[in-house]
Amino acid sequence: MSEGIRKRAAPSLTTSSNHRHEEKSDANVVMEKEQRRSLLLFLVLGLFSFIWYFIKILFGAVTLCYILCVILMYTSPATRELIIYLHPLKNPFQNLSNPVSFGLPANTVNFYISGPAGKLGAWNILSINSVEKQDFSQANKHFNLKDDKPIILYLHGNAHTRGAGHRVQLYKVLRSLGYHVITIDYRGFGDSEGTPSENGLIEDGMAAMRWIRTRISNAPVFIWGHSLGSGVAGGVAKALCDEGYPPSGVILEAPFTSVWEGATSHFITLVSMLTKLAARNLVLRVHLHSMRPSSMASNLLLIFNFCPYKVMSD
């Protein structure tokens, strides 16, 4: 009888053992899932921690560089001039002596003006209305300046050269409107000699104007200054007025009344971000009938009272 009882109890013991084994297997599976979940969470948190640490390091480095730049701007005149002019910024692989490589017409002339600090690299970009000459020799390469079509002396802003992409696009627009364009690189810019300075850039602009005047008859000459070049254009126009030979007109694109006001309106400055004084592109035109000054343009009206011109800001 006891043997029968044992035989009947054996299947139940086996079933119980199987249940315990299944329970252990389920527990192991759950534990493995929890371990995988914990490992994944650890990796994600570790990645976020690394990214946050990297952001803090990057922010700290940028802040430190910004503070150092501000300190150098206040203490080092050389650094201040470097940041204002940014003349070392240029593409070393560009050949400024070949204007065609910049997408300009084949009759564009590369030449050099003798300036107070040495040679000044320049381009003479012919109007689209210019009649081609068969004799395009060295002696006749500036023949277009004798046809009495209007001429624009373009004075560019800081950084890069006369061959910068956005400047070349403007030359194309101006020549399509019937203007000859003379553009120069100031001293220290592009392939020009010398080191830039406030008075030096104005002297270079005057040298370009004198070069133009010796080669024209009755063609009107306009001065177009962009950004930094607007200050140069103003200085050149003032000097010409003092000499009694004012330009036919002055166009200022994105001008400024002072370096401080221009800097505080620049997007990169903290003052701009705090005060939201975004710089607006102002185009001041001379000899126009209405006068609608605003912002820095109202101050520029005071600056431009050296000649009897009317100024409009667009």
According to DSSP, residue 138 is labeled: G
Residue length, the chain?
314
Cα 67 versus chain centre, distance:
22
Cα 102 versus chain centre, distance:
18
Whether CATH 3.40.50 fits 99-313: yes
According to DSSP, residue 131 is labeled: P
The two three-digit tokens of residue 203, written as one number: 């002297």
Q: Tens of pLDDT along the chain (314 residues)?
A: 555 555 555 555 555 565 666 666 767 777 888 888 888 888 888 899 999 999 999 999 988 988 887 788 778 888 888 888 999 999 999 999 999 999 999 999 999 999 999 999 999 999 998 766 545 555 578 888 989 999 999 999 999 999 999 999 999 999 999 999 999 999 999 999 999 999 999 999 999 999 999 999 889 999 999 999 999 999 999 999 999 999 999 999 988 877 677 666 665 565 444 444 333 333 333 333 333 334 444 444 444 444 544 343 34
Distance between CA atoms of residues 18 and 20, nearest Å? 5
